[in-house]
Structure 1
Amino acid sequence: MARIAFILLCHKDPEAIIQQAERLTAAGDYMAIHFDASAKPEYFDQIRTALKDNPNVVFARKRVKCGWGEWSLVQATLNAVETAVDAFPRATHFYMLSGDCMAIKSAEYTHEFLDREDCDYIESFDYFDSDWIKTGWKEERLVYRHWFNERTQKKRFYWMFNAQKRLGLTREIPSDIQVMIGSQWWCLRRRTIEWILNFTRERKDVMRFFRTTWIPDETFFQTLVRHLVPESEIQSRTLTFLMFTDYGMPVVFYNDHYDMLLSQDFLFARKISPEATELKARLGALYAAENVDFKISNEGRSLFKFLAGRGRIGRRFATRFWETESTLGRERELMIIVCKKWHVAKRLLHRIRQITNIPAIEYLFNEESTQLPDLGGIQSTLGKRTRHRRALMRMLFDYYETDRLIVCMDPNNIDLLHDFSGDRSTTRLLEVQCQFTDDFLIGHAKRVGLAGEQTPRETLERLLPTIRQDITFEIDRIRDANFENHNRIREADSPEENAESIAQFLSITNDKAREIAETDHLFAD
């Protein structure tokens, strides 16, 4: 039966590492741990103390400081592998893991899987002919020497690269080596591991070459396995399920991914979120289980690609409960009061509430402090309100149990006006045209941060024409949009004239509209 020596590279989360080691070795397997020499010493001491009495756990005899993209990651792996080979003579397979990996099959299933075929599992594609590298450097990783870490010593890294490039200091790849590339998460047979260790001692030229390549953990073992092992004994795949986003970042798995992970044709998965405590507990118990029947569907990657693509057009997963329709409702009326002077619109809205029973809300898309009912968090910020504008409106209609609702908006909300006017519901606009004195415009400039209390009068006077033109531009955009059901009231018009527009806007009698239009000091600043 297969006996696995897990090669664990880690640098944090000591409790998780201890649990992982205890779970995997409890099934009769082994583990060799390399804990990053640059990580917190107290973490390493905690792990050693907790596992010191476990005969199936050993620690790499020599620890190195690891850095992304560096040879140090390969060296750390080799150090752990050498320790495991000496410590566990009964190990038949050596499996690379990280602290973020967890088993997604039982130990029983895992051992039977490895016993089925005498082969090595490692992704290894031709470095130059494959499209494994999607973006960025390709040949540059190999033909130039990289001594510095690109993330921690960026200036030195690129200075050295550019200097070599200017001087034409390229190098040849060892002539008998075909460079391969693939995932660093492999599972290799004992014989293959022993061949690799012998190769590292005999071929100093190849070791010198790889030590100064960039991101060698994606090429070193992949190349050597293809060089040393017959092709018929290699499965060019990883047994660790992992996915990457379009931005090259690893997909992280959470509690609700349990069933999906178990259905994949893999033995382990990474990355498991540190916060996914329920997922970790369930997967931990799974490894010790017996007679588990796994239904392999293997849809994980295609499902992620599909859902990620739908997410770009706003249709990822099923619609949430507030997004079951794309319209406010054909039978509903949304009435929008558009006014630059917010205090005038609020005064008007207050009077409308007194005269009618129509629910009315102030500047919900402009003022964070606008009083709104608790709608499950969608109303909590201006960003959420704007992003989920139609959903928010539907929920407000439902909350007030009405088919008619009034809201206030600033004239600069032209996108919102277009959106709501394009809905299958009925949208009505009441534009409140006010006169703007210089004092009002100065106050407006201070409210929006264009001016302060100490701004000189001359500066304000130079600013006033621009502010006035900006307001005129916003109003012109609304007029040019030719919205249906667009009514206007004007500060310069009589209450009788304004009452007619208010009556049309609210669908009320002229008498009630006249009461609203005659509101005391309606347009006063």
Structure 2
Amino acid sequence: MAKIAYILLCHKDPEGVIAQAQRLTAAGDFIAIHFDGNARREDYERIRKELDGNASVVFARRRVKCGWGAWSLVEATLGAVRAAVEAFPRATHFYMLSGDCMPIKSAEYARAFLEREDVDYIESFDFYNSDWIKTGIKEERLIYRHHFNERTQKAWFYRSMDWQKRLGLARKVPSDLVMQIGSQWWCLRRRTVEFVLSFIKKRRDVLRFFRRTWIPDETFFQTIVRHLVSESEIRTRPLTFLMFTDYGMPVSFYNDQYDLLLSQDYLFARKISPEAKELKARLGELYSATGRSFTISNEGRALFAFITGRGRIGRRFAPRFWETETSIGRERTLMMITCKKWHIAKRLVERIRSVNDTPAIHYLFNEGEANLPDLGGIESNLDKRTRHRRALVRMLFDYWKTERLIFCIDPASTDLMQDFYNDRAQVRLLEIECEFTDDYLIGHARRVGLAAEGSPQATIDRLMPTIRYDLRFESDRIREFDFPGFHRIRQSATVEENAQALAAFLDIPAKTAREIMGSEHLFVD
């Protein structure tokens, strides 16, 4: 049976550290604690006193003063790991935690999970070729010797790096290591940990190298484990659920996110807000639970991207168009049909094509399969179509030798609508206003990855108003642009009312518009 030794790095909240240690050891696991040497001594002594006598708790022999991005974080980790290896011979796995982590599964589930495969869980991506580093220096982390901390000694950090660059003092990475990078929150098997400790005892050159790298906690274990363990025995993922904002700050979780956390395919979550007392209490009770089953839906990151993206994409600012395309043509008429229910817009397009000769295309800039003719490659993927949108549309006019063209477009694509309205062509827009039932919205959430079949009902209930508002927002935004040649048909309107709007949009007789709108199946889901 798997027995877990948790490696806890912490620097504050002695009450939380004590509670974490008591919780994990009460369920039959072990814990090795490193309490930052910069933290108050009285807090450390309080933790020692409260946990004294607990045979499943051990402390690192020396308290290291830790600095963000510095070797001291790895040094502290190694100190706790060595203490755990020596104190807990029955431990089969060693799991890195911070003081902000909490379990989101039971101990019973965690042990069964680790027994499922004889592997290590550690992110380890190619340092040079992956995009794991989003901003800031990259190769400079390794090839220059970092004696100063960028957070606390910013001027000296960059001054030192600049001097080394000017003097040609770049150093080489140890030749037998393939540098890797990833999250510091790993879970390693006992033999892997022993391999690592034995390796660094023999290879003092590797230790010297990493001591002067920048942010080594993202490269040290990741590189050495990949060097020592077969790729088939490594799962390149952490078992701790964590997310970061666009500004590189970790996302905090609060009381109302209990069900969301439990449905993620992870064993722990980081980081739990200090104010989330109720969440901490519920997760604490969860770890010792038995017979508990978990439904994994794993929609957490998609939900976060959706909620935060609503504040950025097309709301605070619109995407900028850096290249100007050729005009579609002053004498040509471009007609866009927008509807969130794509199948309804497509159905209307097919009805128009059946009674009218105007070429019409489905969601040209929103779905890959649009049944386009061969236009020399510009039509091959969505990125190319969007990047060269005006040129593409002009080519379609030319291909069909027409002066009128219809295509469907998602209501969220207001940036594209604006761009086409800036052309010299005559542009019209028809919005199809639909009714959205709760069942449809749940299906929509699942289609776009915001929910899964197993998503908790509480998560769905909280999500529904946001999705409904988001759809309404898209419609309201289109109206705010006050596009000329704008028309609307509604699911709630009569056939006659909709026929009048369609006749004006297509510039066709009312009788023909009534024939098109006469289908009783147009708005059927």
Shift of 1:212: 0.2
1:73 aligned partner: 73
Query: Aligned ranges for residues 199-218 of structure 1 at < 5 Å?
Result: 199-218=199-218
Q: Which amino acid aligns with 1:26?
A: A
Change (3 A) 1:297 1:422: closer
Q: Which amino acid aligns with 2:26?
A: A
2:98 aligned partner: 98
Name the SS for the 1:311 alignment partner. Answer: coil
Q: Which amino acid aligns with 1:250?
A: P
2:174 aligned partner: 174
Cα distance in 1, alignment partners of residues 190 and 280 from structure 2: 29
2:129 aligned partner: 129
Cα distance in 2, alignment partners of residues 111 and 204 from structure 1: 35
Deviations 1:420-457 (A, max 9, x none): x9799xxxxxxxxxxxxxxxxxxxxxxxxxxxxxxxxx
2:291 aligned partner: 291
Q: Which amino acid aligns with 1:283?
A: L
Deviations 1:464-508 (A, max 9, x none): xxxxxxxxxxxxxxxxxxxxxxxxxxxxxxxxxxxxxxxxxxxxx
Change (3 A) 1:203 1:288: same
Change (3 A) 1:422 1:219: closer
Query: Aligned ranges for residues 49-448 of structure 1 at < 5 Å?
Result: 49-312=49-312
How many residues are matched? 321
Name the SS for the 1:95 alignment partner. Answer: strand
Change (3 A) 1:422 1:130: closer
Shift of 1:315: 8.3
Shift of 1:312: 2.4
Tell me the TM-score normalized by structure 2: 0.60
Q: Which amino acid aligns with 1:170?
A: A
Q: Which amino acid aligns with 1:80?
A: A
Change (3 A) 1:154 1:313: closer
Q: Percent identity?
A: 72
Cα distance in 1, alignment partners of residues 257 and 314 from structure 2: 21
Shift of 1:302: 1.3
Cα distance in 1, alignment partners of residues 56 and 309 from structure 2: 45
1:341 aligned partner: none
Cα distance in 2, alignment partners of residues 207 and 60 from structure 1: 19
Deviations 1:174-230 (A, max 9, x none): 100000000000000000000000011000111111000000000000000000001
Cα distance in 2, alignment partners of residues 300 and 422 from structure 1: 32
Change (3 A) 1:423 1:152: closer
Cα distance in 2, alignment partners of residues 228 and 314 from structure 1: 47
Change (3 A) 1:422 1:62: closer
Cα distance in 2, alignment partners of residues 422 and 128 from structure 1: 46
Cα distance in 2, alignment partners of residues 162 and 150 from structure 1: 13
Cα distance in 2, alignment partners of residues 33 and 50 from structure 1: 13
RMSD of the TM alignment (CA)? 1.8
Cα distance in 1, alignment partners of residues 267 and 481 from structure 2: 50
Name the SS for the 2:310 alignment partner. Answer: helix
Shift of 1:311: 2.4
Q: Which stretch has the larger CA shift, 282-291 or 304-313? A: 304-313
Shift of 1:314: 8.9
2:8 aligned partner: 8
Cα distance in 2, alignment partners of residues 197 and 241 from structure 1: 27
Q: Which amino acid aligns with 1:45?
A: E
Cα distance in 2, alignment partners of residues 422 and 200 from structure 1: 64
Q: Decide which structure has the larger Cα Rg and report it.
A: 1
Shift of 1:166: 1.2
1:430 aligned partner: none
Change (3 A) 1:43 1:309: same
Cα distance in 1, alignment partners of residues 184 and 3 from structure 2: 21
Shift of 1:27: 0.8
In structure 2, the gaps of 5 or more residues are 317-476, 483-525
Change (3 A) 1:310 1:226: same
Which stretches of structure 1, 4 residues or longer, exceed 4 Å deviation after superposition? 313-316, 421-424
Tell me the TM-score normalized by structure 1: 0.60
Cα distance in 1, alignment partners of residues 314 and 61 from structure 2: 52
Cα distance in 1, alignment partners of residues 285 and 301 from structure 2: 25
Deviations 1:205-256 (A, max 9, x none): 1111100000000000000000000110000000000000111110000001
Q: Which amino acid aligns with 1:234?
A: I
Cα distance in 2, alignment partners of residues 6 and 182 from structure 1: 19
Cα distance in 2, alignment partners of residues 243 and 190 from structure 1: 28
Deviations 1:123-144 (A, max 9, x none): 0000001110111111000000
2:468 aligned partner: none
Cα distance in 1, alignment partners of residues 224 and 481 from structure 2: 62
Change (3 A) 1:308 1:170: same
